[in-house]
Amino acid sequence: MHATEVKRIPRWARFLLALVVLILLVGLVAPYFLDADRYRSTIASAIQEQTGRAVTIGKIRARLLPRVGFVIENFTLGNPAGFAEGNLLAVDAIRGGLSWGPLLSGELQLHSVVLVHPRLVLLEDDRGQTNYDFPTKKKSAVVSSSSGFRLADIAGIRLTDVDVTLARVTGRKRAIVPFIHVTNLSADLGDVALDATRVKQWSADADLAGVRGELSGIRGQVEFRSGEFQLRKGAIESKFEGDLGKVARVKGNIRVADIEKGVAEFELSTALLDLDQVLAVTESTPSVPAPAGKSELIARGRLAADRIRFAPYEATGAKAEMRVFTDRVEIWPVTMVLYGGSLGISARADKRQSPMRFSANIEARSIDVGKMLASAPGTRGKITGTGELTLQVFGSLGSAVLNSLTGAGNFAVRDGRLPSFNLGGAAQALAKVQQILTLGQGGLPSGETSFSAITGDLALGGGRISSNRIHVDASVGTVDMRGSFGFDQTLSYDGQAVLIRSSSGGVNNPVDAITTVLGGVMKQTVGRITVPFAIRGTFANPKIQPGRGIPTISTAPSPGQQQPAQQQPPKKKSIFDIFKKP
């Protein structure tokens, strides 16, 4: 730059330029000569007096640029006296900015604070006490000292890479059991008043995209794909979308109208909820009973799922109301469409029991059983009809939830068919008898058996569903049996079928075909045959076997025979009686 060009710059501009250069030099060099560490005990005392907690502060460095402030390394704020050992807050670094106006008057007042990688551990014990409740003081939140340090309202606090843990303290050993762990969260707080009576003046904003979390009892992480969090005038608004591991992708929103009252309203929805994945990721956790005291509502809302899958079965249009209390969770009513019918569930989980127990009432109506069983290749075409179910279930949450189930109920399937029904087992012996007596002609006719109703009771326990009595009213007679099937799909039933000759005597009816042949041999009318049987195997491959005992028949005299003077009840005979001489 030429000398003539320098002279053209106004004096005030040259003075301002020199002042800026001087400030830059001071800002860069002065922190190395200032003993900012002398304020360490003053700052710690002010915070400890305000919070009632032990405070540790590492090295403090002053800075003048880009604004007057300081950097505190390795800050910790302890739990209250008498609580579990540890810290409520630990921070790698705190960068504080000071206000120029009060500084010129000899007073240090915080303007902004940045917390680098804060770890926040929020605890609650069995008595309902927490480590984040601070005593309310009548005096102002402003704490002063001879140095003029002021811990008052802060215009802004920036939190970067936050790590938050929610946990319970339980037992005599004061063990800490985490149930929520959130990482990779950043947020901005504004108008922060360290006074509980003015907490509603706080503001907060957070971008939830990329935030990850872990839930107790579920393996795998929850990850937010998008979302935002806002706090304004004591009200919280949040919208988000994320993945609950492999269980579901969830959209939702949460609103807290008044943070001092603390009741959250929420709506959660998903396109698909995979119950197989729920069972796969569920794991046992240390039992932590709910704190004693009054039961209080803390959240309520609505749940929705377009589809619920429990392979190979699916339900659609699921909706539910949910209420979360300090000691329990209630979900009712859950409604969904299931294969042309409806399924309703009301459930409750009790936090006061250890391990956490739950109960549910299940009611199914007008289910198309044929469509439902067609979902699985092994049961496709086994039975049709309209089903209904009433069941009360109890169990424990955890990885062994199916084996923990107990309960009772009843079921019915009405107006259905057993396609290609084969009497099987002991009845096959009757078919062989028919073949012998007819010189190999014919056999047990194929076809299907219709029924008006299959009804029975249910009892859950030991990983199986048992029935003391199942009754079938079918076109060929009645069936009564008892037994169980397991969640491993194994079958174990024993019973007897009472096969009744039809009034028409049609040969296409398998019972009519057999009774006609047997009646001709015995010179009597065969009215019914009682056949014991057993069912073993699996749903996909059921095996019908002869049961205990032998088939029996009930006979009456043939139409051409002379009737006795007094009508006698039909005489029951063994099937082997046909080989006796008349």
pLDDT at 532: 87
pLDDT at 146: 45
Q: pTM (2 decimals)?
A: 0.73
pLDDT at 137: 52
Residue 71 tokens read as 């950097």
> Could you tell me what percent of the chain has a pLDDT over 90?
31
Over residues 164-190, the pLDDT tens digits come to 998 888 767 777 778 889 999 999 988
Q: Where are the beta strands (DSSP E) in 312-372?
A: 313-325, 328-338, 341-350, 357-368
pLDDT at 124: 81
Q: Are strands 108-116 and 154-170 parallel, antiparallel or unpaired?
A: parallel
User: What are the domain boundaries of the chain?
Assistant: 1-26, 34-134+149-207, 422-579
Given a cut of 50, the residues of the chain with pLDDT beneath it are 1-8, 138-150, 420-427, 429-430, 432-446, 506-507, 557-567, 573-576, 578-581
497-to-215, 387, 481, 489, 529 alpha-carbon distances in Å = 52, 22, 8, 23, 8
Are 177 and 167 in contact by the 8 Å Cβ rule? The answer is: yes
Residue 195 tokens read as 């006074």
Are 553 and 429 in contact by the 8 Å Cβ rule? The answer is: no
pLDDT at 439: 40
Are 335 and 347 in contact by the 8 Å Cβ rule? The answer is: no
Distance CA 361, CA 507 (A): 47
DSSP string, 268-318: EEEEEEEHHHHHHHB------PPPSS---EEEEEEEEEEEEEETTEEEEEE
140-148: long-range contacts at Cβ-Cβ below 8 A with a sequence spacing of 24 or more? 140/195, 141/50, 141/193, 141/194, 141/195, 141/198, 143/46, 143/49, 143/50, 145/42, 145/45, 145/46, 147/39, 147/42, 147/108, 148/102, 148/106, 148/107, 148/108
pLDDT at 563: 47
171-179: long-range contacts at Cβ-Cβ below 8 A with a sequence spacing of 24 or more? 174/84, 174/85, 174/125, 175/286, 176/84, 176/86, 176/121, 176/123, 177/216, 177/285, 177/286, 177/288, 178/216, 179/215, 179/216, 179/217, 179/285, 179/288
